[in-house]
Amino acid sequence: MTAPTADLLNELLTRARDAAQAASVLLLSPPADLAIETKATPTDAVTVMDKRSESLLVSHLLDGRESDGVLGEEGSNRPGTSGFRWVIDPIDGTVNYLYGLPGWSVCVGLEYEGEPIVGVVSAPTYGVTYYAARGLGAFRETSGASEPISPSHVADLPMALTATGFGYASTQRAFQAEILRTLLPEIRDIRRAGSAAVDICWVADGKVDAVYEKGLNPWDYLAASVIAREAGAVVAGLDGRGPNADLTIAANPVLFAKFHDRLKQLGAGKPV
């Protein structure tokens, strides 16, 4: 199959932005009872709004594009036949959402033949939507106005403001805490805002210098990875691999190699 043209990319990006916007509007009016259930651990929550947001996204994205695939955190999983697959997180940062804290986001990513090509991360409580399509640049939209974004120029670890997050399983959290115990004295400071997708967009927008996290899934990083790469940041796993569950790293291009090498030295990508 031939790669999508710029016109098609723009059309798919608009579809992704519209879907993320509709889901954000839905999520801003939660019901009194969020009907909380738990998943892998008692702290890994899913609410009725995660499920409603996912079904809204799927019906919006596949309307007239029934042969596309879709992968969503709350269970959507079909391969499709068109070569395109939507990768969605209906709420990234569910714990923030549950507690009424700002910073959760809606993530809509799109792959073509396995390559990420479109990304939208909408964080309505911050009043911002980040979006990008491959080759078309990365943008921050606030109050209806879009501006191109770019990462910071901080080149050294001691000056690097670094975002991270933690998994839900306590063995994984203990491992992550050990890595952070060594890293924290070597960097400027740490931010744990609660949405991995927003963390990666902050690298794209120069609001943090780097991010790393173990245990992320494609719905957490795929949309944001398109935005960060289009902005000029580097998003990868260890040793030239793509971002993955062992370790996802994003940083500005002058910091990335040093940050990657230190994380590797610390064993941050080891299986737990």
Contacts with ligand IPD by CB under 6 A lie at: 73, 89, 92-94, 165-167, 194-196, 213, 215-216, 220
* Residue 220 near which of ligand IPD, Ca ion, none (CB within 5-8 Å, type-dependent): ligand IPD
The C-alpha atoms of residue 85 and residue 61 are separated, in whole angstroms, by 10
Residue 195 binds what, of Ca ion, ligand IPD, none (CB under 5 to 8 Å, by partner type)?
ligand IPD
* DSSP conformation class of 40: S
3-state helix, strand, coil in the chain (%, to 5): 40, 25, 35
Nearer to Ca ion, 45 or 179 (CB): 45
Cβ distance to ligand IPD smaller for residue 68 or 92: 92
Show Cβ contacts of residue 265 under 8 Å, excluding neighbours closer than 6 positions: none
Question: Which of 49, 61, 48 shows the shortest CA–CA distance to 87?
Answer: 61
- 136 or 169: whose CB is closer to ligand IPD? 169
Report the side by side order of strands in the sheet with 189-191: 189-191, 161-164, 210-213, 248-251, 234-236
- Shortest Cβ 208–Ca ion spacing (Å): 21
Least separation in angstroms between residue 216's CB and ligand IPD is: 6
CB of 199 to ligand IPD, least distance (A): 7
Nearer CB in complex with Ca ion: 104/175: 104
> What is the Cα–Cα distance from 131 to 119, expressed in whole angstroms?
6
> Measured from the CB of residue 73, what is the shortest distance to ligand IPD in angstroms?
6
